């Protein structure tokens, strides 16, 4: 790890932003067994559920009118239908009061009265590959640091049963928070859909009810992902090999050993990439074009009896390329970041344990002096790739040989989650919240 800077004995705090990192089903997974049961408040008194008018077959962007009941009065609402096949959801939103912000892996509906860069009242919907119980445990653990939680199973008109977690009362104070959250974790065959409603306490009756109506129009759909091309599969395997063996790229560039990669088989559902190692071993990577899941076999002439499947597995989409596929430009990691871990100044004030900046080849850890970034030390970046969710995965090695990963949080592009490993299968156990980063400028 970065010279043990994240594990000093000074006080360490998980900042409030970590609350958001769980809401989108971020890179880590936290099992329910690891999470203490939340403190539950009394169930709030809710208005009667509205009668849903469900119309199937609407297209993305189609507009129509419906009547809702708000504060005892009927109101005509102009809705727009939303369909996002990447997330696997469709729902309706009030386009006169909310602005839609669409991304491949996220739908967000922000009040037109809020600043888009810092909204108070908004609903965001994401996909998580975690099952609903695991995702709920992550949400619960994050929110319970600051809030007393209300949790129960709720029925949605179109999505059916979901796990509902409400965060409204500040922990240990007995008073309501200024900003409230309601999170819906909706089970699906391929993971879950997570919808998080954020609204101010002043907007609880208005925005809270509008989000409630919107959630009753949400339905889970089968997800559709674009399949990896042969070229993408080949590039992903090369990046994966370089990430596992940092010295391999130098050996290849120097021409010291006869090594090569080749797409040995190409089918509609699967691509097979052959890597001929300098040891003479023939290693094949079997890649599912849609999911990106890959398993590995090895054949060594005269030693193994045909291909032997290894215990190695990974997701090729996490190693697609260190370049932007559309422009060929390096993936940017802009701005100054800071660690979630905090320390005390002599006067008792708090400061981030590290400020961090990225170059094309290094992660620079340092501090700010009069607003100027002063580097203390740097770690080598050995792999920089786009994730399947459109974020960035950075794999680096510290001077003491520790290999670690930063990965963009699925629900917040301004958060880089830290894992003290390169092995994706070890991420759940090796996640370190205090060592994660968030963008400060």
**137 neighbors 32 (Cβ within 8 angstroms):** yes
Condensed to tens digits (0 to 9), the pLDDT of residues 35-45 reads 333 333 333 33
Task: Give the per-residue pLDDT at 167.
Answer: 94
Taking the CA of residue 92 as centre, how many other CA atoms within 13 Å lie in the half-sphere pointing to its CB?
25
Rounded to an integer, what distance in angstroms lies between the CA atom of residue 29 and that of residue 428? 5
Helix (H) or strand (E) holding 266: strand 260-266
**Quick one: average pLDDT of 318-338?**
60
Rank 12-26, 206-220, 397-411 by mean pLDDT and report only the highest. 206-220
Name the strands in the sheet holding 147-156, side by side, starting at the edge strand that comes first in the sequence.
Answer: 98-103, 106-111, 122-128, 191-200, 176-188, 160-170, 147-156
SS3 (DSSP) at 288: strand
pLDDT band at residue 349 under the 50/70/90 scheme: low
pLDDT band at residue 32 under the 50/70/90 scheme: very low
Mean pLDDT of the chain: 79
240-261 burial, b for 16+ CB within 10 Å, e for fewer? bbbbbebebbeebeeeeeeeeb
pLDDT at 229 over 80: yes
Number of Cβ within 10 Å of residue 222's Cβ equals 9
pLDDT at 221 over 70: yes
What pTM, to 2 d.p., does this model score? Answer: 0.47
Condensed to tens digits (0 to 9), the pLDDT of residues 52-88 reads 444 456 888 899 999 988 878 899 999 999 998 878 8
Task: Give the per-residue pLDDT at 265.
Answer: 87
Q: Which residue has the higher pLDDT, 380 or 75?
A: 75
Q: Which of 6-15, 18-27, 259-268 has the lowest mean pLDDT?
A: 6-15
pLDDT at 34 over 50: no
Rounded to an integer, what distance in angstroms lies between the CA atom of residue 116 and that of residue 118? 6
What would you report as the CA-atom Rg of the chain, rounded to the nearest whole angstrom? Answer: 24
Task: Give the per-residue pLDDT at 53.
Answer: 44
Rounded to an integer, what distance in angstroms lies between the CA atom of residue 353 and that of residue 62? 49
Rounded to an integer, what distance in angstroms lies between the CA atom of residue 213 and that of residue 50? 8
CATH of domain 31-220: 3.40.1000.10
Share of the chain above pLDDT 90, in %: 31
Cα–Cα distances in angstroms (integers) from residue 122 to residues 107, 116, 226, 330, in the given order: 10, 10, 29, 32
Condensed to tens digits (0 to 9), the pLDDT of residues 301-317 reads 888 888 999 888 888 87
* Residue 179, strand partner residues: 200
Rounded to an integer, what distance in angstroms lies between the CA atom of residue 396 and that of residue 322? 13
Rank 118-127, 218-227, 290-299, 378-387 by mean pLDDT and report only the highest. 118-127
Could you tell me the residue ranges of all domains in the chain? 5-13+326-439, 31-220, 230-319
Task: Give the per-residue pLDDT at 288.
Answer: 85
The counts of H helices and E strands in the chain are 6, 26
**Quick one: average pLDDT of 260-275?**
88
Question: Which residues are within 8 A (CB) of 292 and not within 5 positions of it... i.e. 6 or more apart?
Answer: 228, 236, 315, 316, 317, 318, 388
Region of 205 (left: φ > 0; alpha: ψ -120 to 50; beta: rest) is alpha
Cα–Cα distances in angstroms (integers) from residue 54 to residues 35, 80, 87, 98, in the given order: 37, 14, 21, 21
Indicate the pairing of strand 342-344 with strand 350-352.
Answer: antiparallel
């Amino acid at each position: 790890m970065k010279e043990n800077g994240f594990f000093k004995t000074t006080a360490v705090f998980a900042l409030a932003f970590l609350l958001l990192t769980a809401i989108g089903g971020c890179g880590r997974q936290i099992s329910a067994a690891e999470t203490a049961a939340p403190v539950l408040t009394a169930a709030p008194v809710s208005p009667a559920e509205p009668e849903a008018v469900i119309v199937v077959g609407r297209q993305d962007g189609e507009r129509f009118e419906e009547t809702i009941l708000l504060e005892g009065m009927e109101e005509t609402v102009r809705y727009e239908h939303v369909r996002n096949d990447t997330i696997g959801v469709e729902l309706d939103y009030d386009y006169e009061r909310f602005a839609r912000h669409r991304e491949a892996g996220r739908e967000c509906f922000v009040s037109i009265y809020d600043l888009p860069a810092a909204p108070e009242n908004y609903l965001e919907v994401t996909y998580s590959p975690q099952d609903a119980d695991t995702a709920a445990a992550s949400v619960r653990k994050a929110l319970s640091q600051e809030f007393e939680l209300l949790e129960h199973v709720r029925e949605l008109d179109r999505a059916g049963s979901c796990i509902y977690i409400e965060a409204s009362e500040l922990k240990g104070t007995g008073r309501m928070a200024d900003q409230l959250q309601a999170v819906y974790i909706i089970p699906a065959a391929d993971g879950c859909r997570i919808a998080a409603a954020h609204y101010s306490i002043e907007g609880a009756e208005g925005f809270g009810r509008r989000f409630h109506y919107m959630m009753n129009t949400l339905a889970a759909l089968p997800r559709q992902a674009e399949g990896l091309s042969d070229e993408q599969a080949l590039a992903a395997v090369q990046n994966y090999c370089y990430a596992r063996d940092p010295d391999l790229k130098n050996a290849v560039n120097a021409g010291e050993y006869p090594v090569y990669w080749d797409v040995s088989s190409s089918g509609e559902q699967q691509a097979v990439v052959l890597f001929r190692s300098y040891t003479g071993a023939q290693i094949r990577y079997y890649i599912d074009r849609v999911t990106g899941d890959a398993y590995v076999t090895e054949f060594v002439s005269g030693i193994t009896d045909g291909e032997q499947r290894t215990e190695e597995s990974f997701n090729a989409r996490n190693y697609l390329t260190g370049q932007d596929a559309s422009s060929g430009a390096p993936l940017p990691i802009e701005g100054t970041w800071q660690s979630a871990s905090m320390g005390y100044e002599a006067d008792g004030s708090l400061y981030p344990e590290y400020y961090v900046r990225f170059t094309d080849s290094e992660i620079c850890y340092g501090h700010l002096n009069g607003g100027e970034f002063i580097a203390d030390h740097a770690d080598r970046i050995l792999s920089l790739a786009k994730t399947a969710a459109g974020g960035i995965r950075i794999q680096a090695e510290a001077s003491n040989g520790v290999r670690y990963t930063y990965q963009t949080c699925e629900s917040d592009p301004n958060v880089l989650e830290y894992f003290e490993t390169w092995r994706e299968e070890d991420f759940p156990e090796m996640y370190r919240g205090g060592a994660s980063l968030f963008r400060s400028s």
